[in-house]
Amino acid sequence: MSQESVNPRSTLSLSILSGKGGVGKTNLTLNLAYALYRANHKMLVMDFDVGLANVDVLLGISPEKTLQDLLRPGVTPRDVVAEVEPGGFDFLPAASGVPELLELDEDMRDQVFDKLNDVLGEYDYLLFDLGAGIGKTVLSLASMTRMRILVATPEPTSLTDCYAVIKVLNASHGVRDFQLVVNQASSAKEAQTTFERLNAACRRFLDLDIGYLGCVHTDPNVPDAVRRQVPLIKHAPRCRASQDILSLAIKIGRHRAENKALLMDKPILKKITAA
């Protein structure tokens, strides 16, 4: 038995969000999860892009039950959580194309997390794949997690929308702690410049600094893996984008290791009093 499984776990909750849609959140979420799973961490990916859920599509699986089923009496987390890979890569699907569920209201959110409470501590990481933009569900879920990864591309529109998310989360929930991943970068230099532009705006107008986690290059293997419905890192482990995501996973792993003691004292998900 490994040391890790004897000690109490300190779960790192992490949300992945963006201003604009289609910037690569779901691919990043899934592949970070896969990379960390391969490094022997227990992962739970939760699809909170309610309405446009597609983690299942990228995995090529058709879930029997979804997040919304958890709201029904008698349904337990174990009925809903699907195993993606044996022994440590689990997935909680969301229903797609159900307009009335586009926004999880506070009651529903609390019910979902009350039910999940018993199982969350079994994981090393909880990854929330959130929808784009500044909807209420996105904002409240992003403010609950211990770490937030913003995904942006170098396009100016993606960057301004990303700034809007930071601004609104800061104003509505007092969140000041963000990490940026620049996706679909043509070079590390372009990505660094993108980060610096965004950070300069945050510093000037919001008096905060964001962290820079790194970049993922534009890589034709990404759309190829999407078409094949296999995580990129499994499909093309040596390609540029896979290598980039592995580096990001190592950084996140380091962050969790360095903050382990700290994480153990705090709730896995912050309770929201005012949404």
In the complex, which residues of this chain contact Mg ion (CB under 5 A)?
25-26
Residue 139, H or E segment: helix 136-144
Give the whole-angstrom CA distance, residue 181 versus residue 231.
18
Which region, judged by CB under 6 A, interacts with ligand ADP, from 117-125, 190-198, 222-230, 256-264?
A: 222-230
Decide: is 10 part of the binding site for ligand ADP (CB under 6 A).
no
CB 49 within 8 A of CB 22: no
Partner touching 153 among Mg ion, ligand ADP, none, CB below 5 to 8 Å by kind: none
From candidates 11, 15, 27, 140, binder to ligand ADP by CB under 6 A: 27
Q: Residue 154 in 3-state DSSP?
A: coil
Selection from 5, 7, 1, 24 nearest residue 152 by Cα: 24
- Which of 95, 108, 206, 226 binds ligand ADP (CB under 6 A)? It is 226
For ligand ADP, the binding residues in 145-204 under the rule CB under 6 A are: 183-184
Please name which of 144, 72, 84, 82 lies closest in space to residue 115, comparing C-alpha atoms.
Answer: 72
Which of the choices ligand ADP, Mg ion, none does residue 194 contact, using the CB cut-off of 5 to 8 A by kind?
Answer: none
Partner interacting with residue 18 (select from ligand ADP, Mg ion, none; CB below 5-8 Å by kind) = ligand ADP
- Whether residue 51 contacts residue 161, with contact meaning beta carbons closer than 8 Å, is answered with no
- Residue 219: contacted member of Mg ion, ligand ADP, none (CB under 5 to 8 Å, by partner type): ligand ADP
